[in-house]
Structure formats: C-alpha cells, structure tokens
C-alpha cells in the first residue's frame, strides 16, 4: 500500500476541515435561498433507467468537492417545499432550528440503541420524549418512548403491545392459531393494513369502523363490532384511533373509545385492547392545550378563539390513550425522520422487552434506560431528539401556539369563502385543523343539495358517478389553467374517509401548512374557482 496516498485519504475525509466543509455547505444554503424566491418547482423528469445503468464509482480518491458535485444535481432537482403556494399535503419547509439540531446530530452520528453508542444523546431522547408526552398526556407521571423511522413503525409498536397484552407469550411462541383482530376507522391511515399484514394478524383481520360526517369513528358501531368479534371467538388486540386524519383532519373521540373498551373488558373479563392513537398529524394541536382563551395573551382574533376552545376539548381524550404516535416531521416542521412512539405508562414497554442474552453484543445494556432491549431497530439515528429539542426550545411555546393558530385561522377562512359559493361544498366544516377538503362542481349545480341527497341516500349510482366525474374534471381543468407562479398547488383525494352508504367521497384538498402562506394566496384560489365556468 502507498502509505502517502492512504494518509491523504484519511486527511481529506476523516479530518475535520471547517473552512472546506463550511464553504461547501454555504453553497447549498445559497442554492436554498435562491430557491425560496422561486415558485414551486415543476416535476422534473426522472430517468431511472439511466441511473440504474450508470452507477459509476470514481476510480481515484478525490476531495469534498467531488462529494458536492455528485449530489448537487439531485439536490437542486428536489423541491424544498418552501414556496407558500404549496398546499397539497402536510409537507412543508423544515424550520432552520431543526437544521441546527440535525447538523449537530450528524457531526457526532450517535446510535440511540444504548448509552454506550450514544452517551448523552440517549439522555436527549428521554428529554424529548418527556417533553412531548407532557404536551400529549398533560404532565403524565411516568411516560417513555422512542423515536422511530416513521409513523407506520410507531403505530406498529402500539399494535405489538396490544398483541402481547391479549396473547401473552406471542413474542416467543407466535399466535398459535388464536384469532386476533385490530380495529381502526374507515378514515384511518392505510398503514393499519401494512401493520396487520407484517405482524401476522392478516389484513383481513383489521376491521374498519365507519365514520360520521366529521370523519370520527362511530362509537355505536365500534361497540357492536367488539361484541361481534367476541362472539366469533376473536381477541381484539388493539383499537387505533386517529387524531387528525390525513385528508380531512377528522379526530376520533378518544375518551368515548376508552369508555367502550373498558366496559367491554370488564363485561367479558378480558384485557382491554390497547388504545393506540395515531396522532401523527394532529398532535401539534396540543400546543394549544393550555392557551388562556379568556385573557387571550397572543391577541388571537375573536373568530379564532372558539376554534381553540374546541381543540382543547378534543385534546382531553389524548390523556386516556395507552400510546400515541406523533410525526414531528409533519406539523412540527422538522426534518425526517422525526416520528416518535410514546407510552402513557413506562411499564407497558415490558410487552416489547428482550433480555440481554437475546442481544449479545449489547451485553452492557441496562433495561432501565437502554432502548435496544425493546426497540425494533438495532440502529436508530438521533435526528429525532436533536431536531425536536432544537425546534421546541428555540421557537418556544408561544411561538408554536402562533404557528398552529395561524394554520387554523387560514383553514377556517378558506372554508368560509368556499362555502359561500353555490357550486362548492366544504366536506369538513366540523373538523378543526389545517386541512380543507371540498367539492367544486360546474357552475349552475347546487353542491349543497347534491351533498344532502348523497347523505340521505337519494342519489342513484349513475348520478353519483356523474357528479364525482364532474368534480374531478373541474379539478383537472384548474390544474391545466393554473399559473404556476401565482396559483396555489392543490391535491385531489379519491376518499376523505367518510363513506355514506358505502360511497367514497372524492375531494379537492388544501393543507394550510406553510407558515408563509397568506390571505392573498387563498383569496386568489377562491377567485380562480369563481372564474372557472
């Protein structure tokens, strides 16, 4: 080996060179800054065939600028979702406090599996989880949890605890022919099907409860389903409630679900199913839990205060959940991955636990603090705790309250302006959140009357398909005619989660997520709809 060449590789890639690294990072930041002045990027053509056919690796060692040049075309070809015209989904710009946390994490590159691999970064995870738990559970006594690779995995943790509660020893011996089931709502995220499939329950054993018009699980039908499953010999492992559905921001009555589950368990002398709440989207409302609507210190508008009060009423139920999923990388405006699984009672983690003998190369692990003894992953990045705590403590509680309240305020404004149009019908008037879903029919149609006919079951199948076809065609026309420099980007969903008489309700969709979105953008959106004839 040529030792001089080897030493050069070490110096270039393993010795910290602040000026060189800072200059390259500055170039990326300048590109980001330039992008913020531009409208949303058009979807670029992706040539996967060329990428697969040319996976070149340079022959000779280079320098850090080679690293920059390799990734920059893809960096520039990826939208940062920083434009205030992005209203398609819960996807927006990550805040720069989160970036500071992410950079600090990446420089040290800890693995959160054990103290040995992460040292004080493991402590930071406990701090972040406790801070989030205090928001969700209102200063619970003994919470714990972990950051995961995404909301699906966090929901999987909740389901897995439920399996072990209902069938002790399943972790070691499997299901052994015992019939287990899970329950979600029809508006729940599709990850429920992934989870039941991957955990071996089978997707056919996941039961979806219809929702009411506010996209909340119908409690009467939940009670009926529990009884039906019991008669058929099933054990219900978990009920996954949703706090903020993906499209319409429906929230389930968690307190009502808790009462039903406890009553069912007592009546049948069985363990209560795990009550897990998928609050990946809606958790952020918890920043408003203690806002004083009487004193109104942040001077929210009079129209906004009733919405805050409704939010606070809904948040009370979260305190009764056994476990919760949150995604900070959604309305925490943080970097991926920022998903966390949090239990109300630390002792529930025993249902996931392993022994040190099961993890021989973590022989030093301590069950009192080392997540490696109960986590799915052996390698967990610390990006979640670093980005969460950097964001929470720099923006501050009142900063978060203003950000969340502003989203609610703009969503309510858009709902009201759309509902004034005869040929429009807002489908989630009763939900409190940043999402708006609505119909736009050709002018001359009475959208409210059509909606009522659908609810009442007075629409024929032919009429239903005619109207939904028109709704989609009007959306497609707007997409063709929209000015990409001025008009908001919207999305289209084929089902908002409420299915009257088994019919899916398609809708236009906007999520008031970007902090820079303002009234002028929404007013132009409504004017543009009015101009469609």
**pLDDT score, position 376:** 87
How far apart (Å, rounded) are the C-alpha atoms in residues 136 and 279? Answer: 10
CA dihedral 474, 477, 483, 487 (to 10 degrees): 20
DSSP 129-198: HHHHHHHHHTS-SB-EEEEESSHHHHHHHHHHHHHHHHSTTHHHH--TT--EEEEEETTS-THHHHHHHH
pLDDT digit string (tens) for 382-394?
999 999 999 999 9
Tokens of 245: 């559905």
pLDDT digit string (tens) for 158-183?
999 999 999 999 999 999 999 999 99
Q: pTM for this one? A: 0.94
N residues, the chain: 533
Residue 337, classed as helix, strand or coil, is: coil
Q: Would you give per-residue pLDDT tens digits along the chain (533 residues)?
A: 889 888 898 999 889 999 999 999 999 999 999 888 888 877 666 777 777 777 788 888 899 999 999 889 888 888 888 899 999 988 778 999 999 999 999 999 999 887 788 888 889 999 999 999 999 986 667 888 999 999 999 999 999 999 999 999 999 999 999 999 999 999 999 999 999 999 999 999 999 999 999 999 999 999 999 999 999 999 999 999 999 999 999 999 999 999 999 999 999 999 999 999 999 999 999 999 999 999 999 999 999 999 999 999 999 999 999 999 999 999 899 999 999 999 999 889 888 887 767 676 666 666 667 787 788 888 899 999 999 999 999 999 999 999 999 999 999 999 999 999 999 999 999 999 999 999 999 999 999 999 999 999 999 999 999 999 999 999 999 999 999 999 999 999 999 999 999 999 999 999 998 999 999 999 999 999 999 86
Tokens of 302: 């009079």
DSSP 89-133: SS--PPPHHHHHHHHHHHHH--BTTSHHHHTHHHHHHHHHHHHHH
CB within 8 Å of 286: residues ≥ 6 apart: 135, 136, 315, 318
CA dihedral 450, 454, 460, 462 (to 10 degrees): 60
How far apart (Å, rounded) are the C-alpha atoms in residues 373 and 354? Answer: 5
């Amino acid at each position: 080996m040529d030792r001089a060449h080897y030493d050069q590789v070490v110096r270039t890639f393993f010795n910290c060179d602040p000026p060189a690294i800072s200059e390259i990072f500055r170039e990326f930041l300048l590109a980001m800054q330039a992008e913020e002045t531009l409208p949303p990027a058009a979807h670029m053509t992706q040539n996967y065939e060329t990428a697969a056919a040319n996976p070149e690796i340079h022959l000779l060692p280079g320098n850090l600028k080679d690293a920059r040049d390799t990734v920059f075309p893809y960096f520039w070809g990826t939208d940062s979702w920083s434009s205030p015209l992005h209203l398609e989904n819960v996807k927006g710009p990550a805040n720069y406090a989160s970036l500071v946390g992410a950079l600090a994490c990446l420089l040290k590159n800890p693995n959160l599996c054990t103290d040995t691999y992460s040292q004080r970064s493991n402590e930071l995870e406990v701090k972040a989880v406790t801070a989030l738990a205090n928001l969700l559970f209102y200063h619970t006594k003994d919470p714990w949890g972990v950051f995961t690779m995404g909301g699906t995995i966090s929901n999987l943790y909740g389901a897995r605890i439920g399996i072990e509660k209902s069938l002790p020893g399943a972790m070691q011996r499997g299901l052994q022919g015992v019939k287990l089931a899970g329950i979600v709502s029809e508006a729940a995220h599709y990850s429920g099907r992934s989870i039941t499939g991957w955990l071996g329950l089978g997707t056919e054993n996941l039961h979806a409860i219809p929702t009411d018009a506010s996209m909340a699980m119908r409690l009467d039908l939940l009670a009926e389903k529990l009884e039906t499953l019991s008669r058929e010999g099933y054990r219900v492992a978990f009920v996954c409630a949703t706090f903020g559905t993906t499209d319409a921001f429906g929230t389930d009555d968690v307190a009502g679900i808790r009462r039903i589950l406890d009553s069912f368990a007592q009546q049948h002398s069985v363990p209560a199913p795990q009550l897990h709440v998928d609050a990946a989207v809606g958790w952020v409302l918890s920043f408003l839990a203690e806002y004083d609507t009487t004193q109104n210190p942040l001077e929210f508008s009079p129209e906004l205060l009733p919405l805050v009060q409704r939010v606070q009423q809904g948040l009370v139920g979260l305190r009764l959940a056994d476990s919760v999923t949150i995604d900070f990388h959604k309305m925490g405006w943080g970097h991926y991955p920022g998903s966390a699984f949090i239990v109300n009672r630390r002792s529930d983690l025993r249902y996931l636990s392993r022994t040190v003998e099961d993890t021989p190369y973590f022989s030093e692990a301590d069950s009192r603090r080392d997540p490696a003894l109960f986590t799915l992953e052996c390698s967990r990045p610390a990006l979640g705790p670093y980005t969460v705590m950097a964001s929470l403590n720099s923006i501050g509680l009142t900063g978060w309250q203003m950000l969340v309240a502003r989203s609610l305020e703009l969503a309510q404004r858009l709902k009201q302006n759309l509902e004034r149009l005869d040929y429009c019908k807002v489908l989630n008037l009763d939900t409190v959140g940043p999402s708006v879903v609505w119909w736009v029919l050709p002018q001359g149609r009475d959208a409210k009357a059509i909606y009522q006919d659908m609810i009442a079951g007075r629409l024929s199948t032919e009429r239903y398909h005619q109207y939904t076809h028109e709704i989609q065609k009007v959306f497609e026309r707007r997409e063709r005619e929209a000015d990409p420099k001025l008009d908001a980007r919207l999305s289209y969903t084929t089902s908002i989660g409420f299915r009257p008489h088994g019919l899916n309700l398609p809708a236009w969709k906007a999520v008031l997520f970007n902090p820079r979105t303002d009234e002028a953008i929404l007013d132009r959106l409504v004017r543009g709809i009015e101009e469609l004839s």
